Amino acid sequence: MQGAALPGNPILAAVTAFPALVPLDAPLLVGYSGGVDSTVLLHWLLRCAQTSGTALRAVHVHHGLQPDADDWVLHCQQQCDAWGIELAVHRVQVDNRAGLGLEGAARQARRAAFAAELRDGETLALAQHQDDQAETFLLRALRGAGVDGLAAMAEDSRLGAHRLWRPLLPTPRSALLGYARQHALQWIEDPSNTEDLADRNFLRLHVLPLLRQRWPHAAGALAGSATHCRQTRDLLDEEDAELIAHLEVAPRVLSLQLLRQVSPGRAARVLRAWVLGHGAPPLPATVLLQALDELLPAANDRQAQVRWHDHAIQQWRDHAYLLPARLPDLPAGWQVTWDGHAPLALPDGGQLCLHGADRFTRPLQVRARLGGERILLPGRQHSHALKDCLQREHLAPWRRAQLPLLFEDGQLLAAADVVISAPLQAWLQARGARLQWRPGGW
């Protein structure tokens, strides 16, 4: 335990850098490890909440990585009981098999625990401070990060649907220590913080102290550079969003012809932002380079593909399609009867709906494609091969394997909502109705 108040010690000069009490407009969930940073944050936000009348809770994540982890839970519970704060404890398993390193895997487990604990409308408050920001900036610079990575942590960001707030980010750690001593706070020390095996600890224990010997305000300067990078990134993000709105001709479909008209650097940013905007994992640098090399050369008949994690970018007819790496097909031999009254759930996760009519005159048979089907189109005297019709509709090859076909007495009435036969078209028009197909895998 640490934190006895220093005898005769007035408010340290560093404490003047600590934030003043702020009004809180949303209930708070505070990440509380029991260390000095989160102890100061919890104490300060409790004072803010008491002034504002705001609800406040704390959450402690038990990683099981230290022998004293159970004692830390007990300390946090006792402190929260003394302050009248509700504490939630999450015990997690740190899975280091994903190649993130122990620190990265623990961070991922923490974020998952925070996300699971957050209630509707709550803001998550975390205790990262200026020195943490300087370390993050240095770590990313040493890994060759660009302006996006060097932006480091944001004071305001999102964790899913929730606000993630780091109110102490502009504050040096010395100010937090001064605050803790001024208020005689009690905290715990993680023994791993004195080990320099982890990159962040090496910077904290050896590099930043050396920099401060020459440049006393090194941490603040590095954190300031992160702020400048973040401002630059935000401006670039705005430009990227405007360009994507111009390049995206349909949801998850990007015009490669238009993308070739921008610089390679801008094209790289656009591809990164485009996949992130649709909830896909970030493009690794190697995959991004592969995408630029394979997708940008002009050739309408190319069908290049790049994959990462469980996603893919597929080129077809000079467009880039963002897809799941493995799209489900309708099972061979699948067949069902459907009257149109309720939406039909398809086995690949898709859906078929009839809008504007209560149901079909007679139930129809819906099945997967077998090949060789023919359909009578409106205004035609003879039937046509469905394969030819789909090619004329420019339906992507991976979508053809997902098409549900609608039959009545062995006659093909429709291939989803892509190709409609003359009899079904007349029936739909007479009722002001329409078919709607949502493919699976999106």
**Is pLDDT at 16 greater than 80 in this prediction?**
no
Lowest-confidence range among 56-60, 190-194, 263-267, 345-349? Answer: 190-194
436 contact partners, CB below 8 Å, separation of at least 6: 352, 353, 354, 355, 417
Instruction: Decide if 184 is inside a domain.
Output: yes
Residue 164: the pLDDT is: 97
User: What share of the chain in percent tops pLDDT 70?
Assistant: 94
173 and 204 together in one domain: yes
Q: What is the mean pLDDT of the chain?
A: 91
- The residue out of 273, 304, 324 marking a domain boundary is 324
CATH of the domain at 186: 3.40.50.620
280-284: long-range contacts at Cβ-Cβ below 8 A with a sequence spacing of 24 or more? Answer: 280/309, 280/311, 280/322, 281/308, 281/309, 281/311, 283/308, 284/308
20 contact partners, CB below 8 Å, separation of at least 6: none
Element (H, E) at 323: strand 319-324
Per-residue model confidence as pLDDT tens digits over 74-122? 999 999 999 999 999 999 887 766 556 777 788 888 999 999 999 999 9
- The residue out of 285, 304, 324 marking a domain boundary is 324
For residues 191 and 171, which has the higher predicted lDDT (pLDDT)? Answer: 171
Q: What is the pTM of this model?
A: 0.76
116 and 202 together in one domain: yes
User: What share of the chain in percent tops pLDDT 90?
Assistant: 75
124 and 189 together in one domain: yes
Instruction: Decide if 329 is inside a domain.
Output: no
Instruction: Decide if 285 is inside a domain.
Output: yes
Instruction: Decide if 141 is inside a domain.
Output: yes
Instruction: Decide if 342 is inside a domain.
Output: yes
- At residue 251, the 3 state secondary structure works out as coil
**Is pLDDT at 315 greater than 70 in this prediction?**
yes
Taking residue 400's Cβ as centre, other Cβ atoms within 10 Å add up to 17
Overall number of domains in the chain:
3
**Binding site per annotation, positions for ATP:** 33-38
296 and 225 together in one domain: no
DSSP 112-171: HHHHHHPPTTPEEE----HHHHHHHHHHHHHTT--HHHHT---SEEEETTEEEE-TTTTS
Question: Can you tell me the mean pLDDT for 195-224?
Answer: 95
CA distance 229 to 279: 24
Q: What b/e sequence results for 261-280 when a residue is b if at least 16 CB atoms lie within 10 Å of its CB, and e otherwise?
A: eeeeeebbbbbbbbbeeeeb
Nearest to 424 by CA among 362, 333, 334, 346: 362
**Is pLDDT at 190 greater than 90 in this prediction?**
no
83 and 202 together in one domain: yes
143 and 264 together in one domain: no
Question: Can you tell me the mean pLDDT for 385-411?
Answer: 92
Residue 197: the pLDDT is: 84
Q: Token match 């010690």: residue?
A: 9
CATH of the domain at 282: 1.20.59.20
53 and 188 together in one domain: yes
Instruction: Decide if 6 is inside a domain.
Output: no
Instruction: Decide if 15 is inside a domain.
Output: no
- The residue out of 290, 324, 358 marking a domain boundary is 324
CA distance 437 to 351: 6
Range of the domain at 371: 335-438
CA distance 441 to 347: 11
278 and 369 together in one domain: no
103 and 207 together in one domain: yes
60 and 136 together in one domain: yes
Nearest to 36 by CA among 173, 217, 205: 173
**Binding site per annotation, positions:** 33-38
187 and 311 together in one domain: no
134 and 265 together in one domain: no
Instruction: Decide if 190 is inside a domain.
Output: yes
